[in-house]
Amino acid sequence: MIEMQDVWKTYPDGTQALRGVSIQVDRNDFLYVVGPSGAGKSTFMKLIYREERPTKGQIFVNGFNIEKLKQRKIPYFRRNIGVVFQDFRLLPKLTIYENISFAMEVIEANPKQMKKRTMEVLELVKLRDKANSLPGQLSGGEQQRVAIARAIVNNPSVIVADEPTGNLDPDTSWGIMKLLEEINFRGTTIIMATHNRDIVNNMRKRVIAIENGLIARDEVRGDYGYED
Ligand SMILES: Nc1ncnc2c1ncn2[C@@H]1O[C@H](COP(=O)(O)OP(=O)(O)OP(=O)(O)O)[C@@H](O)[C@H]1O
């Protein structure tokens, strides 16, 4: 469902972040992306949700060559990919309910459906009772659960999570991982960049290591493999 063919990314200042990456990620895969700082992991993720464009090479998502998408098709493409960040990125002045439903408003869902689905995902992340709170009133782990609810509200086929546990303590991180595992179990592909060795080594999934802009390793039930 996601395929990269010889993808290169050189930033305008000349930094070569990716230097010929080819990979196929199947429907329902759970993929960890590991590697040293600055190796190209975030760049790899950003290319998938089209935040950055490749300098060279092709990227296909659900059979579409995303370089060839017409401008007006981009919102439809994006709704099929949920993105989760290390720093949550919730809108501070909107309630939890509004943060999530806003993602549906953007795609012009009908109000009834919007309410039903927002409550459904709030239930899934176990935050129904916080619907009217503001993000600042929630713990880090709760904020990340809201961000995950927002990422899945439009039923994307893939979630791209860039260090989703990077700001959380170990116990809270495990809660987030259980949630991502459940979302994967329900049929969503998960691509997660992480520096968290315990998580990778304890939840054996496919692991790719990016080093120096290249895929150095791709293992079906891999481990973290670094000492840091
Ligand atoms: N917008 C940009 N302009 C120029 N160089 C960039 C830009 N974004 C990233 N880079 C560079 O590209 C390389 C890869 O960066 P990237 O953020 O993809 O690494 P990473 O593996 O995600 O690192 P980390 O684990 O520290 O988050 C680094 O050398 C980085 O400095």
- CATH number, residue 112: 3.40.50.300
CA distance 209 to 72: 34
* 96 part of a folded domain: yes
Q: With b meaning 16 or more CB within 10 Å and e meaning fewer, what string describes 88-111?
A: bebeeeebbbbbbbebbeeeebee
Q: Are strands 206-211 and 214-219 parallel, antiparallel or unpaired?
A: antiparallel
Cross-strand bridge partners of residue 171: none
* 171 part of a folded domain: yes
Query: Which alpha helices (H) appear in 83-196, and where do they start and end?
Result: 96-105, 111-124, 140-152, 170-185
Question: What's this model's pTM, rounded to 2 decimal places?
Answer: 0.95
Does residue 42 have its Cβ closer than 6 Å to ligand 1? yes
Does residue 35 have its Cβ closer than 6 Å to ligand 1? yes
Q: Which domain holds residue 204?
A: 29-50+72-219
pLDDT in tens, the chain (228 residues): 999 999 999 999 999 999 999 999 999 999 999 999 999 999 999 999 999 999 999 999 988 899 998 988 888 888 899 999 999 999 999 999 999 999 888 777 799 999 999 999 999 999 999 999 999 999 999 999 999 999 999 999 999 999 999 999 999 999 999 999 999 999 999 999 999 999 999 999 999 999 999 999 999 999 999 875
Quote ipTM for the complex: 0.97
* 66 part of a folded domain: no
Domains in the chain: how many in total?
1
CA distance 214 to 197: 20
Nearest CA to ligand 1 atom 26: 37
CA distance 43 to 10: 10
Atom of ligand 1 nearest to the CA of 210: 21
